[in-house]
Structures are given as C-alpha cells and as structure tokens.
Amino acid sequence: GVVSVCFEGDSDGYINLVAYPYVESETVEQDDTPEREQPRRKHSRRSLHRSGSGSDHKEEKASLSLETSESSQEAKSPKVELHSHSEVPFQMLDGNSGLSSEKISHNPWSLRCHKQQLSRMRSESKDRKLYKFLLLENVVHHFKYPCVLDLKMGTRQHGDDASAEKAARQMRKCEQSTSATLGVRVCGMQVYQLDTGHYLCRNKYYGRGLSIEGFRNALYQYLHNGLDLRRDLFEPILSKLRGLKAVLERQASYRFYSSSLLVIYDGKECRAESCLDRRSEMRLKHLDMVLPEVASSCGPSTSPSNTSPEAGPSQPKVDVRMIDFAHSTFKGFRDDPTVHDGPDRGYVFGLENLISIMEQMRDENQ
C-alpha cells in the first residue's frame, strides 16, 4: 500500500516518524498539513506507528530514532540512533580486508540507509510536511531469529528496458557466477548461530565469487546453526520450492528478471529433543546395533493402557517468498513491447538446481 509520513516533535525534544493513511489529494509538495481529524494512535518517542482503520494495521516499533535538543533543533543535523529489537549482533565478512577478516556489529547497511533517508527528509522538510511512502510487508516479522537466504534467480538479470551497457554488465556478472551454471546465486545470507549467539552474514560479493561446490557449501552453511545441521528444514523448504516450480511452469510470458527468492526459517525454534548433537546420535545408533533387544524393549508400548497418542514435534516455521519485481514483465503489462513465450525457463532452471542440490544434501545427511 501507500502511506503519508511526516515528522512530529514531542515535548521531550524527540522527533517521531508518524504514518497516516494515504489520501489521493495529498502530495509531497504541500507545505502544511490540512486540518483533519487525527487518527487515533499512541505517541511515544523512538517509535514509528502506522495508524489506519484496518484491524491488521497494528503498531510497529521502528529501529531508529531521531534525537535533537530543543535549543538547536533547527540548526544542527539530527542524530540518528540505532534501537534494535534484539541485542543479537551480526558477524560479517569485511569486504575490504579479504575473506579471512570478519567483524561483529549491528546490521550496518540497514542503519546507513535509514540514516540517509531520515537526514534527507529532515533537511528538506518543513514541520509536518507529508511524504509519500510505499508500505511494504516485513516478511520476517513472525520470526524471532530470522535466518534468511537471498537468492538471485534465473540465468538472465537485465530487464528488457536495460541499456546496452547495463545489459552487458549484468551478463558478465551472470557468466562469472553460478547464475550461468545453476540459474541461481547467493545474493545475501544471515544465519543465527546457537554456539556464538551471533548472526553469520554473507553479502552479494561473497555470492558472486562462489563456484558450484561453493554454492553447495553456502547452502549447507545456511542450514547449519553452528551446532548441527537443521535436517528438519529439508522437507518443508523442498515442499515450498516444488510448489513454486509447478506454478511458474504454468505461467506463459512471465519473466522475473533480476528478482530474488527469499528462504526464511527461525534460528532458535528447534527444541532440545530435536537438536541432538552428533555424539548423542552416534551413541543411540551404537545402542541399536549392539543391543537390539534393549532398543526394542525401550520402544513405545503397544499395550491398550499406553495407546494415547503423543504430540510429535511440530513442523518448523518456514517461508519462501518471491521478491523484487522492478524488471518483471508479462504479456500486456504496461504496453511492454517485448512479449516472451512460455514460462521463465531461466528461473525454473534455477529452481530445479536448487531443489536437486537440497535433495542431495538431505540424502547425504540422513
């Protein structure tokens, strides 16, 4: 959707970002907010609230605040602070220092983007000037420790509207990465590590340099929590990937150039009983082989007094999302002159290889 966003100061000298339902007559050029009935909302410092009529529009805390003093509010540049929902830091490769160097910090790119946008809005705006913003869904909202794999899909990344220079540049990227060989490459990754309590992060530059075997290793790393491979994730993810592939194979003329696929799971959802370490598993297997009679006698009883079913381990929460459609097209879309025939074979090719690699990994780690 679309929302109107403005700055509102409070009595403590804090600047709040407040979002209102968008009205067609509103423009970003207006200097003053018209008098109107104010939406009902709570107003607290260091918060961003969405105010609307829908029951699904609930308050969401923002990760940033803008702080100024009352005496220098009009002259000084605003100070942007990071207010993270979690104290979990990010462990990232330092691209300027080579693959061997890693640093631990909060997510710097998110902070940088928000800081630039807020500073620009603050310097350009008069009090309560409205800005038109797209309202996007936070697809990891339901995950406490979101582990995210961002995959650039397809064998072609440039759109039909790309200049010859940009098309050539994008084709070189594909040729020099797994986009050409697999139809998919790693564009970003964050994985919560149970052993360190940090997020392990990888960026698009890391993904561009991977070979086919390197891509397999990155996928393995994405499914590893630092203590064990999350084998419980294979089937839920594979099921969603197969379903997506079946749908895309039926979509004639659609092309999803430069779009991505997000794979998401919760990094701290796994319960202790389903996350046994390797040594424990080996001891159990040894017991089964050496003392089969003991193992069988310790199994679940089939007597009438013991037949009440027990709740098995719940399926892990997994989500797979197609995102980034800026260069997507289909027949009849905005009078695009180029009409493609059949499904997006480059995207489907990437899904086939992703599914195949995950199936091999599952079979090797049963």
The yes-or-no verdict on residue 86 having pLDDT over 80 is no
Q: In the prediction, which pLDDT does 120 show? A: 79
Average pLDDT of span 275-303:
44
Query: Best-predicted range by mean pLDDT among 82-96, 199-213, 285-299?
Result: 199-213
Please give the C-alpha separations between residue 263 and each of 57, 96, 155, 322, in angstroms, as whole numbers: 25, 28, 19, 9
210-214, Cβ contacts within 8 angstroms, sequence gap of 24 or more:
210/177, 210/178, 210/185, 210/186, 211/178, 212/178, 212/181, 212/182, 214/178
Q: In the prediction, which pLDDT does 7 show? A: 78
Which pair of tokens denotes residue 178?
């797994």
Q: In the prediction, which pLDDT does 312 show? A: 41
**How confident is the prediction for the chain on average, in pLDDT?**
76
Among residues 268, 186, 281, 264, the alpha carbon closest in space to that of 226 is found at 268
Contact (Cβ atoms closer than 8 angstroms) between residue 262 and residue 139: yes
Contact (Cβ atoms closer than 8 angstroms) between residue 199 and residue 89: yes
Percent over 90 (pLDDT), the chain: 49
User: Residue 229 gets which letter from DSSP?
Assistant: B
pLDDT digits (tens, 9 = 90+) for 165-182: 999 999 999 999 999 999
When pLDDT is cut at 50, 70 and 90, the band that residue 298 belongs to is very low
Comparison of pLDDT for 337 and 314, the residue scoring more: 337
- pTM (two decimals): 0.70
Q: Which amino acid is at 265?
A: Y
Q: In the prediction, which pLDDT does 39 show? A: 45
Among residues 316, 341, 313, the alpha carbon closest in space to that of 329 is found at 341
* Domains along the chain with CATH numbers: 2-134 (no CATH), 146-269+315-364 (3.30.470.160)
Which pair of tokens denotes residue 219?
């996928």
